[in-house]
A = this chain, B = another copy of it.
Amino acid sequence: MKFKKILVVGIQKPQLDNFTWKSLSSLTNKIVLLSPDSRDIFKELKDSEALLVYFNKADKEMIDGAPNLKYIGALATGVGKIDIKYASKKGVVVTNIPGYSTESVAELVFGVLLENSREISRAKTESKKGNRSELGFSAREIKGKTFGVLGLGRIGARVAELAQAFEANVIYWSKTRKKSYEKRGVKYSSMNDLLKKSDIISIHFSLNDRTNNILNKSKVKQIKKGAIVINTAPMELIDYEALKNRIKSGNITFIFDHTDLGDITEKRLKELQRYKNCITYPAIGYISQEARVNKQKIFVDNIKSFLKGKPTNTVE
């Protein structure tokens, strides 16, 4: 089985390896690439059976403009700009790519944590400058610390596992209890207790209406003094003013990457970066070679599975 035509909107050539483009071509008689602001989108949609997008939209108007459409594939985990309900109503299958960067992000959490707890960047720089002494470097172990995971989804659960391997006491709070992890010693805790007790906190909520500002003023106040807080999730989860005040007071260390900056404007980022106890990174969590390969493989496999009549990673 092949599609008669695939329309690709918003995915640029270099985003996928040649190998992946070849695979895609083998799954269709015709493939057309357009940018999201192209005037030709509606013209090309008319006879398209599949629409592939990145983070860009696939709304009601576009779905209506494609009477032969059977499949929308997103090259992303988030599908916020795809009208899933309408697609479903029209019998169009929507797929996404969950979990492709789980390991990559989980490893980075420990990378930035160890950088901080062992002063790795400073040690590297000072060694290069000729400092041969370890005197004056501080170091804390992960072992024996209380490690709180907020949100025990794919990434949170993997972070919890790794924290257990480092022999931390791992506690979690998540929307739903995860008994399978509890059996393995990851203890459930109320969010308040987690914030009060954890020496290290790693945030892994996905952003939605329910989690927006979930770490509100009163929650942020409860974070243990001296805690290291790592956020590889969107900053909209956290009340900005409350966070800034805690950072300003100097009694927490806050580490985050720039993924999904959203409301955190350049101004806010600069504001936080003024404080030594706020450490920032570009969004390097999900960019590993392995994640890139996973992502492309799942992207193609989703289409293959659909063509075989057994769609995988469908979003409803």
19 contacts between A and B (CB under 8 A): A103-B141, A107-B118, A111-B115, A111-B120, A115-B120, A120-B120, A121-B125, A123-B284, A127-B258, A127-B273, A127-B280, A134-B282, A137-B282, A139-B287, A140-B288, A141-B288, A141-B291, A162-B166, A165-B165
> In the complex where A103-B167, A118-B107 touch, is A281 in contact with B141 (Cβ < 8 A)?
no
Interface contacts beyond A107-B114, A139-B288, A141-B291: sample of 5 additional A-B pairs, CB < 8 Å, sorted by A? A104-B141, A108-B139, A115-B124, A132-B258, A139-B284
User: A290 is contacted by which of B114, B131, B137, B140 (Cβ under 8 Å)?
Assistant: B140
Known: A141-B290, A284-B139. A110 touches B110 (CB 8 A): yes
Copies of this chain: 2
Which residues between 122 and 175 of chain A lie within 8 Å of chain B, taking CB atoms? 123-128, 131-134, 137-144, 161-162, 164-167
Which residues of A are in contact with B by a Cβ distance under 8 Å? 103-104, 107-108, 110-112, 114-115, 117-121, 123-128, 131-134, 137-144, 161-162, 164-167, 258, 261, 266, 269, 273, 279-284, 287-291
- CB-based contact A131/B162 at 8 Å: no
Contact A284 B115 (CB under 8 A): no
B167 near A128: Cβ-Cβ < 8 Å? no
Find out whether the CB atom of A139 lies under 8 angstroms from the CB atom of B280: no
Contacts of A120 in B (CB 8 A): 111-112, 115, 120-121, 281
Task: Tell me the bound Cα distance from A230 to B272 in angstroms.
Answer: 34
A279→B261 CA distance, assembly (Å): 32
Is there contact, CB below 8 Å, between B115 and A121?
Answer: yes
